[in-house]
Structure 1
Amino acid sequence: MTRPASIARIETDTPLDDPFLERDGGRYFNRELSWLAFNRRVLEEACNPAHPLLERLRFLAISGGNLDEFFMVRVAGLKGQQMLDVEARSADGLTPGQQLAAIVEQADALMASQQAVWRDIRRDLDQAGITVLGSRSLDTLDVEQRAWLDTYFQEQLFPVITPQALDPAHPFPFMPNKGMAVMFDLVRRSDKEPIRELVMLPAAMPRFVRLPGAEVARYVAVESVLKRFSHVLFPGYDVLGAAEFRVLRDSDIEIEEEAEDLVRYFANAIKRRRRGRVIRLELETGMPDTLAAALREELGGEDAIVTETGSFLGVGDLSLLADEDRPDLKFVPFTPRFPERIREFGGDCFAAIRAKDIIVHHPYETFDVVLAFLKQAANDPDVVAIKQTLYRAGKQSAVISALIAAAEAGKSVTAVVELKARFDEEQNLQWASALERAGVQVVYGFIDWKTHAKVAMVVRREAGKFRTYCHFGTGNYHPVTAKIYTDLSFFTADPRIGRDAARMFNYITGYVEPAGMEKVVLSPRTLRDRLMTCIDAEIANARAGKPASIWAKMNSLVDPTIIEKLYEASGAGVEIDLIVRGICCLRPKVPGMSENIRVKSVVGRFLEHSRITAFGNGALLPNDGAVVYISSADWMPRNFDRRVEYLLPLSTETVHDQVLDQVMVANLIDNEQSWELEPDGSYVRDTPGEKPFNLHRYFMVNPSLSGRGAALDGDEVPVLSLRRKR
């Protein structure tokens, strides 16, 4: 199958050579450049001919939104260090200035590739009956369509836009974060007097207007409408030039030590974020020099990164087009399963969990089981208490509703709401207020640390005693992301884990040090140490001549201490396979340093999000005696040192086998959505060959081991075979 030409442009325009490889010995990849490499892999999915057209468009939009957030947070932080003359070097030995120079070069190349991919997809959309019209092509509309657009402009757009002259009497207006505007250079016909005008796009209105008509979907961007009706906006003027620009601002929120009232601090900080310093000024390619110079002076200054980004700014907004009602251009709808084990108990979550631990694999198994667990707890008269961490819960959260219902039913409900969940701070403040009004005890946790662990515990009165039921998730209590992120939900009534969960909540709510933890490992206390101890055990096995192996799956691998320990393990002969979706600072397959370490990244229909670690424990993986953990933590310094995270061992046979023999093996043998990380930092896409395997397709078709139930015993789950590549 022939790949679109835009893929070749991505590969050509974004060289992955590491100029610092020879200088510092090349022990680490740069974190920021590794993230850009990940976003290139996302962009390549927009060129994947195996994906339906609107899904390719969605991948393009995701890459654009990702890049915006990268600049608003990561680049903003580096820029702040540079402005303060901070010369602290990254793990790979670069100063903030050196990192920024490399980032700008690769980000500009990535944005150029986004524009190339958009041109290809736009052409394909047109052939499929979805047309995106520019301002010039609006003249090709028929009389009826032009009349409709004229009415739309007069009645919907004209009342909400405010043209502003730019002169000494009208200073340059404030541009909000991600704000976009069109600047016009005009000349008055009566006296040939020049004037410059600015029109900001209304933030409350959709970026695209859909013209009426069912046979062909025609869209036009708001900025194109403004250009088309410039004669109405500026009667008596001739337009000499018009071009769009867009602003990204510093959007990170830093916690100050004197922030005694965390709620008030975040309410004010969210407002300040909208006015953060300009980090990136994006200009439409071909903008007249006079307009570009004016914008650089007003918005860019010496601190902002100014870039010409092509003919379409704000690639993330293209997601609006992907919502067009064309099922033939989207993935075949998938309906997640409800765990049969719970159905066998008549939908009684507590009875099913009491019988045996269950692990649920989202999105293949529905997030509704988590909601059912919480709703049953809210309605059950024998439940006396519920405790829950909330990191990201979404805008329409059934989780919040269940907690409110439980509190209103007279149960003791505690919610640990994390205000520092980036870009969800405002939503979480609103949820906290609603929970408190219902009588929920709301706690905000630590000032300096984020509570990132996803844990719920329910205390129930049974036979005159209390039993604790727990849920541990590798992802958020978010019903929307649970449909597209692959995560694990572990349910247990193990009293040891219940006691550990209670200790964890006491740690967060009352700063009570969790002494005597029986099963659960917590950061920032002992999580890194436990991983180091487990790696040391594999090193000892290798040196004793026993089989030694480590498998780990995560979103990011950055922590230098863990990386050095993995290098040590590789040198001792431990076979290490890592599945790292995003950032990876470890350099694999380098003789004498990491020759026994292999790293792959899986990017496909679903976003791989679960965190899993397995240690061979004296035998090659997979094996029945392997030590298997699930976790909420990636292997990054912030997760080990500045967040409350958990690491939980899995011992129940079906749960252990599902995570190790199904989830991990499927990720390792996938060859349709996988990329191999090479020693030079490049990622090479796997070729399926004679035995193609798509892990997402496999899990959509086959039931899980843990939740499948006796009703499915005759429907055997295919045994996955690991084909080791050495």
Structure 2
Amino acid sequence: MASDPTLSNAANDPADPAPASRYFNRELSWLAFNDRVLAEAANPAYPLLERLRFLSISGSNLDEFVMIRVAGLAGQVRSKIAETSIDGRTPRQQLAAIDGKVRALQIKQQQALDTLRLLLAAEGIHIEGEQQIGVQAEAWLRDWFESHIVPVVTPQALDPANPFPFVANGGIGALFTLQRESDGSRLIEMVLIPQALDRFVALPAELTDGESVLIAVERLVCRYAGILFPGFRVLGDGVFRVLRDSDLEIEEEAEDLVRLFRSAIQRRRRGQVIMLELADDFDPDAEDLLREKLGLAQALVTRTGGMLGISGLAQVVETDRPELRFPPYTPRYPERVLEHDGDVFAAIGAKDFIVHHPYESFEVVVDFLRQAAADPRVVSIKQALYRAGNQPTVINALIAAAEAGKSVTAVVELKARFDEEQNLKWAGELERAGVQVIYGFIDMKTHAKVSMVVREEDGAYRVYCHLGTGNYHPVTARIYTDLSYFTADPAFGRDAAKLFNFVTGHVEPDTMERLSISPLTLRERLVADIDHEIALAREGRPAAIWGKMNAITERGLIDKFYEASAAGVKVTLVVRGICCLRPGVPGLSENITVKSIIGRFLEHSRIYAFGNGRPLPSEEAIVYFSSADLMDRNLYRRVEALVPICNPTVHEQVLGQVMLANLLDTEQSWLLDGTSGVYHRVGDGNVVVGEQFNCHGYFMTNPSLSGRGDALADSRVPDLAERQTPTLPAHPR
């Protein structure tokens, strides 16, 4: 397998005395991404509940960042690991920088909530709306508390006779300082909020003049503390929330991977405390005790005068007010398949085609497996499952195939973060149905999105493949923009078989005809294509690179892009999230532009395009889609697939429509200033832009990509020559 060159090329290499001038810090870049997500909560073009959804997403994003990335850095500090980041910072220096950014982000979240609370109140939705509680509503709420909360909470005295209670990851609790009325003695009590409870209680509409009034459970616990503690006077109270280290550390030599993961998931729930959030009015005596008992070495401790656990607003987003959400969008079923009366195999056999989710339905992927399960000519199915979600559509199709007597193999990735438990459940159900379940490598995740069906036709076997950029997850397929490629090209079939053999039997393929896979050849393929563009530029020929990805952090490829820029190659990247590359820096990357798109859908597909001696887009361009971002983990520690697009129609659709639309978007785009590190929203006065274009809106309102060919002529993405791509002026404000 390929080695990781970055391990021997640390960011503090003496030959590179100023890495911060060449690279952005990964963690701070991620926080900048979440800041862009949060900014959508203030977007006046969005309905109010959708703005609240973005606020909630920014909260859940931040929780995961703390539980994984901050926890990892804190662990390095505890272990005295001094390895520096790509920009030359030690773990302790990164934690110090993160601390300030996290606090600033939390302040922005509370400000956004304050604004949205007022706007929603004007629409009759009151978040934590105690001021709306009248006499009748008060009586109802008190009765509800006594019947629904009192039976399930367990007040616990914090004294030497009782061990300090365990506070679960993400757990919210309240501490009370009490004085006994009979003798004046004091004690501290803790009440933990059961995570099975909804975060908010909705008052009956008939008690609130038809308006929606929602009260957070933890506020009810404080409001009705007298019910929980009769005979005591409340001297002080405070609400807190805990986040714990949630990463899984897996031993390389594990004899029983399933048992290992079950125990690791249990350990995650009891991981080191990484963040403690406190309400501003938290009682000082109770705070001292909490700090002492939780063990807060390297933990962030933050205070807020607003709501703890912003992610909990997801419940409010689901309030039954459709006029305050985006109009419903129904994905189109791929027309290529409809032309063949819904027969997926007939459609694939006629011609390769690509499906663009969520604009085109994920149901075609499920139908591919369902029809394979029911088809008597299908003899074998092989399926990679990274995230399948909690809806069993794909799982049921595989089970049906096994029960029909077909040979079914499922590669179930147990290391899919936060989906481990769900994947263990599916693995058990698949095995019970007779599916051969493989867990792949212990030290690498299988992240490639591949499905392979072997079908008997005319006395021979024909292989049909689905290759994608997204997970086999029916819920995220309605939210994430991804590509699904269907082909019966024998070369792809042979390569897919070798990929599965690599994962299931650990047999490295000697040659591959179409696919490049990590950690073996994927990075090398991209480097070779970049080098080809560099050579073309040095010959004075057109040279250009377009890329679309979720993140770029791998130092070697960043340096290769810098080399391309210096040679005169025009590099344009759409990087939704983390970007350690500094674009547009004189003498380093003046020919590189980086933009980020944040909108109604989550940009998730990865596309890599190389001009190959012609201006982009062109029929001669080399184009790939992939499951891999340009990160160390994707290139060295995961099994990924890089898929070349050979079919001319699909080539034009991916390059001349999907990729080009992303480059031309002006309404959801941010441009990165490589000198300051600031992202400028297109249209805010800092960005030069021509006619407005919304790539999500375009694909929602234009015909299906799959199989339309020349029928798209009247509704294509505008020519690059007709539109001006957004650019930063030399000195943005």
TM-score, shorter chain, exceeding 0.5: yes
1:589 aligns with 2:584: yes
TM-superposed CA distance for 1:340, in Å, is: 1.0
1:174 aligns with 2:156: no
2:138 maps to what in 1? 146
TM-superposed CA distance for 1:238, in Å, is: 1.1
Output the CA distance in 2 between the equivalents of 1:38 and 1:109.
Answer: 14
2:186 maps to what in 1? 194
Q: Could you list the runs of 5+ residues in structure 2 that have no partner in the other structure? A: 1-15, 728-733
1:350 aligns with 2:345: yes
Counterpart code for 2:460? K
The question of whether the paired residues in 1 share the 8 Å contact of 2:335 and 2:704 is answered with: no
1:693 maps to what in 2? 693
TM-superposed CA distance for 1:288, in Å, is: 2.3
TM-superposed CA distance for 1:708, in Å, is: 3.2
Residues 360/61 of structure 1: CA separation in 2 closer, same or farther (3 Å cut):
same
1:599 aligns with 2:594: yes
Q: Deviation string for 1:557-593 (max 9, x for gaps)?
A: 0000000000000000000000000000000101111
TM-superposed CA distance for 1:713, in Å, is: 6.5
Q: Deviation string for 1:25-69 (max 9, x for gaps)?
A: 511000000000000000000011111000000000000000000
Output the CA distance in 1 between the equivalents of 2:592 and 2:602.
Answer: 23
Output the CA distance in 2 between the equivalents of 1:523 and 1:22.
Answer: 31
2:155 maps to what in 1? 163
Q: Deviation string for 1:623-674 (max 9, x for gaps)?
A: 1110000000000011110100000100111100110010111100101100
Identity score, percent: 60
Output the CA distance in 1 between the equivalents of 2:717 and 2:83.
Answer: 52
The question of whether the paired residues in 1 share the 8 Å contact of 2:20 and 2:87 is answered with: no
1:3 maps to what in 2? none
User: Where do residues 294-373 of structure 1 align in structure 2 (5 Å cutoff)?
Assistant: 294-373=289-368
Counterpart code for 2:135? V
User: Where do residues 81-100 of structure 1 align in structure 2 (5 Å cutoff)?
Assistant: 81-100=76-95
Counterpart code for 2:428? S
Counterpart code for 1:304? A
Output the CA distance in 1 between the equivalents of 2:569 and 2:606.
Answer: 21
TM-superposed CA distance for 1:317, in Å, is: 0.6
Residues 454/24 of structure 1: CA separation in 2 closer, same or farther (3 Å cut):
closer
The question of whether the paired residues in 2 share the 8 Å contact of 1:485 and 1:609 is answered with: yes
Output the CA distance in 2 between the equivalents of 1:582 and 1:409.
Answer: 43
Residues 709/411 of structure 1: CA separation in 2 closer, same or farther (3 Å cut):
farther
Output the CA distance in 1 between the equivalents of 2:307 and 2:20.
Answer: 41
Output the CA distance in 1 between the equivalents of 2:17 and 2:103.
Answer: 25
1:703 maps to what in 2? 703
Secondary structure at the residue paired with 1:159? Answer: coil
1:610 aligns with 2:626: no
Deviates more, 1:419-428 or 1:164-173: 164-173
Residues 584/368 of structure 1: CA separation in 2 closer, same or farther (3 Å cut):
same
Match of 1:381 among 376, 384, 394: 376
Output the aligned Cα RMSD: 1.5
Output the CA distance in 2 between the equivalents of 1:643 and 1:516.
Answer: 19
Match of 1:557 among 548, 552, 556: 552
TM-superposed CA distance for 1:709, in Å, is: 7.1
Deviates more, 1:700-709 or 1:410-419: 700-709
1:512 aligns with 2:513: no
Q: Deviation string for 1:587-606 (max 9, x for gaps)?
A: 01011110000000000000
2:96 maps to what in 1? 101
Q: Deviation string for 1:304-325 (max 9, x for gaps)?
A: 2211133210000101100001
Output the CA distance in 1 between the equivalents of 2:134 and 2:283.
Answer: 31
TM-superposed CA distance for 1:691, in Å, is: 1.8
Q: Deviation string for 1:504-529 (max 9, x for gaps)?
A: 00111111111221000000001110
Output the CA distance in 2 between the equivalents of 1:356 and 1:167.
Answer: 73
Residues 179/718 of structure 1: CA separation in 2 closer, same or farther (3 Å cut):
closer
Secondary structure at the residue paired with 2:512? Answer: coil
Normalising to structure 2: TM-score of the pair?
A: 0.94
1:541 maps to what in 2? 536
1:681 aligns with 2:672: no
1:62 aligns with 2:57: yes
The question of whether the paired residues in 2 share the 8 Å contact of 1:281 and 1:299 is answered with: no
1:485 aligns with 2:477: no
Output the CA distance in 2 between the equivalents of 1:351 and 1:341.
Answer: 10
1:10 maps to what in 2? none
Count residues with an aligned counterpart. 702
Q: Deviation string for 1:202-228 (max 9, x for gaps)?
A: 111111011111620111000111112
TM-superposed CA distance for 1:702, in Å, is: 0.5
TM-superposed CA distance for 1:167, in Å, is: 1.0
Deviates more, 1:181-190 or 1:574-583: 181-190
Residues 571/268 of structure 1: CA separation in 2 closer, same or farther (3 Å cut):
same
1:457 maps to what in 2? 452
Q: Deviation string for 1:342-387 (max 9, x for gaps)?
A: 1110100011111111100000001001011111101101000000
Counterpart code for 1:166? L
2:11 maps to what in 1? none
2:202 maps to what in 1? 210
Q: Deviation string for 1:1-30 (max 9, x for gaps)?
A: xxxxxxxxxxxxxxxxxxxx9954511000
Counterpart code for 1:705? L
Output the CA distance in 2 between the equivalents of 1:346 and 1:725.
Answer: 43
The question of whether the paired residues in 1 share the 8 Å contact of 2:277 and 2:303 is answered with: yes
Counterpart code for 1:543? R
2:463 maps to what in 1? 468
Residues 25/209 of structure 1: CA separation in 2 closer, same or farther (3 Å cut):
closer
Secondary structure at the residue paired with 2:243? Answer: strand
Deviates more, 1:654-663 or 1:143-152: 143-152
The question of whether the paired residues in 2 share the 8 Å contact of 1:654 and 1:706 is answered with: no
Output the CA distance in 2 between the equivalents of 1:645 and 1:42.
Answer: 27
TM-superposed CA distance for 1:156, in Å, is: 1.1
TM-superposed CA distance for 1:704, in Å, is: 3.3
User: Where do residues 258-277 of structure 1 align in structure 2 (5 Å cutoff)?
Assistant: 258-277=253-272
Q: Could you list the runs of 5+ residues in structure 1 that have no partner in the other structure? A: 1-20
1:575 maps to what in 2? 570
TM-superposed CA distance for 1:147, in Å, is: 2.3
1:723 maps to what in 2? 724
The question of whether the paired residues in 2 share the 8 Å contact of 1:654 and 1:705 is answered with: no
The question of whether the paired residues in 1 share the 8 Å contact of 2:660 and 2:717 is answered with: no
Q: Deviation string for 1:505-557 (max 9, x for gaps)?
A: 01111111112210000000011100000000000000001000000000000
The question of whether the paired residues in 2 share the 8 Å contact of 1:112 and 1:310 is answered with: no
Output the CA distance in 1 between the equivalents of 2:49 and 2:234.
Answer: 36
1:121 aligns with 2:116: yes
Output the CA distance in 2 between the equivalents of 1:411 and 1:249.
Answer: 44
Secondary structure at the residue paired with 1:512? Answer: coil
Counterpart code for 1:447? I
Secondary structure at the residue paired with 1:534? Answer: helix
TM-superposed CA distance for 1:718, in Å, is: 5.2
Counterpart code for 1:701? T
The question of whether the paired residues in 2 share the 8 Å contact of 1:344 and 1:709 is answered with: no
User: Where do residues 383-398 of structure 1 align in structure 2 (5 Å cutoff)?
Assistant: 383-398=378-393
Secondary structure at the residue paired with 1:72? Answer: helix
